[in-house]
Amino acid sequence: MAIHNSTLKSKNTPLTLDELHLTEENRSRINQLIEEFTYIEALNNLNIPVDNKILLHGHTGCGKTATAHAIGIALNKKVITLNLSGFVSSRLGETGKNLSDIFKTAANDNAILFIDEFDFIGKIRDYDHKDSGEIKRLVNALIQLIDNLSDTSLLICATNHMDIIDTALLRRFQIKLEYQLPTKEALDIYYDGILSTFPKNISNIKRSYGVSFAEAKDIANQQIKAHVIQLEKQRKHLLFSYGSLKSKQVQLEHFGRELKGTGDSLSGYKLTDLEIKDTTVIKIDKTDILSIAIKSREETDNIEGFVFEITGEELVQTDRYGISNYKRVKETTDLGKEVWIYVAHNSY
């Protein structure tokens, strides 16, 4: 079943209400909801029902799902999330019972039941369909479950297409909050918040408007990642070479340029021969026997070589060129330079 519990560890930590970009009207209605549940006992003593059926509707990516989880944080309740499109069984006769079980679980756990893609019940409602009778029964079952929801339970539903939902279902919700695309001013504040966490040299992006907050976040992150990757490609690295890369011809074939290096040595390593079967490596190095560095037990062992300065992009090239028996590690040369060196996989 397409159901999960937001108390499980997640890659994305739920936002609080203060971290969401809500309109004043929506925030005011949500604050009222939270206060009603906070003082529910006093309201119950006077037989005043709380508003516990909320429909969040509007443009995708504007914070409906985030709002449901933020309400859960504010009320210290776990959120049971049900994605309706993934939940409705191909054997429709079972779906009503499954829905009933989920409502019972939420009630027993004193949890918030959050039904996402609530409009799916409207998308499948085709009364010329061969299963139209079952679909009508499913809609009726859902109406009954909502009607019988206990006062202490909280149901939150979200939809991008409120117009296709059965009006009988819509009438059950006491609170309907609309989520619209943010204004240019709101998006600028949102972009500023995202970019403030990154260094200035990667936070120069082209801003898009007429998009949701989720889309704006993707737009910003894509450009920031491109800047980071470009900087990494240009970043300088020191590579300790003890083998064929010391050859000018190999350098030209591998990097398209001649490298400039200085002599150095690395203690605590020794060289051993390795038979190569990769024809591409053999073609470049003109040999099927290469030397490979291994960690030595003798401190007096020492490897002579050269330290070359290469870019991050060239380092990635070298990784791809390296055969499966190699791995790249950081070491310090005898002259005190921090370098990358390719060693045998079993060196450590």
pLDDT tens-digit map of 253-286: 888 999 999 999 999 999 887 665 555 554 444 5
What pLDDT does 165 receive? 87
The mean pLDDT of 187-211, rounded to a whole number, is: 95
Give CA–CA dist 124/118, Å, rounded: 11
Amino acid at 83: N
Q: What is the mean pLDDT of the chain?
A: 85
- pLDDT of 127: 45
Burial (CB count <10 Å: 0-12, 13-18, 19+), residue 269 = buried
Q: What is the pLDDT of residue 224?
A: 97
Q: Regarding beta strands 289-295 and 269-275, do their DSSP bridges make them parallel or antiparallel, or are they unpaired?
A: antiparallel
Mean pLDDT (whole number) for 47-52: 92
CB atoms within 10 A of CB 67: 24
Q: Which whole-number Å values give the CA distances from 161 to 56, 123, 129, 219, in the listed order?
A: 10, 10, 21, 24
Percentage of the chain modeled with pLDDT above 70: 84
Q: Which residue has the tokens 């549940």?
A: 37
- Whether 79 shows a pLDDT value over 70: the answer reads yes
Q: How far apart are CA 275 and CA 154, in angstroms?
A: 68
Assess whether pLDDT exceeds 90 at residue 58: yes
pLDDT (tens digit per residue) in 80-121 = 999 887 777 555 567 778 888 999 999 999 999 999 989 887
Q: Kindly tell me if the per-residue pLDDT of 9 is higher than 50.
A: no
Q: Note the pLDDT of residue 344.
A: 83
pLDDT for 150-198, tens place per residue?
Answer: 888 999 999 999 988 888 889 999 999 999 999 999 999 999 999 999 9
Three-state secondary-structure class, residue 277: coil
Backbone angles phi, psi at 52, to 5 degrees: -125, 15
Residue 319 confidence (pLDDT)? 85
* Alpha helices by DSSP H, the chain: 24-38, 40-45, 64-75, 84-87, 92-108, 120-123, 132-147, 167-170, 184-195, 213-234, 248-255, 279-285, 312-321
Q: Look at residue 307 in the predicted model and tell me its pLDDT.
A: 96
The predicted pLDDT at position 27 comes to 96
Question: Residue 197: CB partners within 8 Å, gap ≥ 6?
Answer: none
